[in-house]
Amino acid sequence: MTGTFHVIKDGVVYELTRLPEGGFFITVPALPGCTSYGETVEAALDEVSEAIDLWVEVAREKGLAVPPEFDLKRAS
């Protein structure tokens, strides 16, 4: 079964899509373009953590705004 659903973890909303071939595509709606993949929901949530870190790093380098909930958690 395919379908899209949302998970909220630590105050962050994640959108997960169950893929027909298996696994989950995950996005972070608050961070455009921040995506990842995992075989399970838990794996997708773990994998997207690195994508969030990289998204925040690049946004800072380019002088772009970072949503406060992400900036505070990953402040250097």
Cα dist. 70→2, 19, 60 in Å?
A: 29, 27, 11
Map out the domains of the chain with their CATH numbers: 3-73 (3.30.160.250)
Strands (E), the chain: 3-9, 12-18, 24-27, 35-38
Percent with pLDDT over 70 in the chain: 89
Taking only the tens place, the pLDDT of each residue in 25-51 is: 999 999 999 999 999 999 999 999 999
The predicted structure's pLDDT at residue 2: 65
**Closest residue by Cα to residue 32 from 58, 5, 2:** 58
